[in-house]
A and B are shown apart, each in its own frame.
Chain A
Amino acid sequence: MLVLSRQINESIMIGDSIEVTIVDVKGDKVRIGITAPRDVPVHRKEVYLAILEENLAASKHADFTALADIGDMFPQHPPKKTNPSGRHPKQDKPGKS
């Protein structure tokens, strides 16, 4: 790993388009500013890893049998606007006798 010493307000360039700036240092906390192109996602590592882990677990557990009884046990909080399943609550048609 490349290790560089920097002071507050000094930066590091990574390639031509990524700039990492030390914004503040207080005790054992460092605040870092990052300028990067839109297509370079920047994440806190532990959050990145947690989400990646959940995605892996989700793909592994994506099983029909797991869904068998869920409809019954699920709390009913219908969303106000959209209906993602494409099903619509039954409505009486006006004018129908």
Chain B
Amino acid sequence: MKLETTRFGPIEIAEDEIYSFPEGLLGFASFKRFILKPNPTGGPMLWLQSVDDGSLAFIICQPQLFKPDYKVSLRPEDLGDIELTKVDEALIYAVMVIPKDKPREMTANLQGPLILNKTKRLGKQFVLLNSDYSTKYKVFQE
């Protein structure tokens, strides 16, 4: 199918690359379908592009790239939400806030990670209940 996006222009996407987020993201509950897109100019960041609204996209990144000891502990019922049975089916991403012209002030939301089941193509934003991780973790600690 063809998707008109504000950032990437028209892009062709296959049904089987669409991730379904049954609950959406917090504040964006009505947007339930996304695709992962590598950044066209390279680098460690990926795009989470909404399929339902071509103007909605998030920049996401694997937290382990800047915080190697990052760990998410989930309850078994949480894993059930995205039908996760094996750890290696999971992809974990943090939603990034990168201020324009000030990339060194970028922050990562480590308390509300996105976890994707790449086999079942399901995703969810988790809210870590008992964690010390910040929603505004500074990637570049001064």
Contact = CB atoms under 8 A, between A and B. Distances in A.
B109 A71 contact: no
A55 B27 CA distance: 7
B98 A84 contact: no
Nearest to A66: B98
B103 interface: yes
A43 B127 contact: yes
B109 A54 contact: yes
B30 to A, nearest CB: 13
Interface residues of A, number: 40
Contacts of B3: none
Size band of the interface chain B makes with A: 35 or more
A48 B127 contact: yes
B26 to A, nearest CB: 5
Contacts of B111: 47, 50-51
Interface of B: 7, 23, 25-28, 36, 38-47, 56-59, 62, 64-66, 68, 77, 80-81, 88, 91, 93, 95-101, 103-104, 106-107, 109, 111-112, 125, 127, 129, 135-136, 139-140
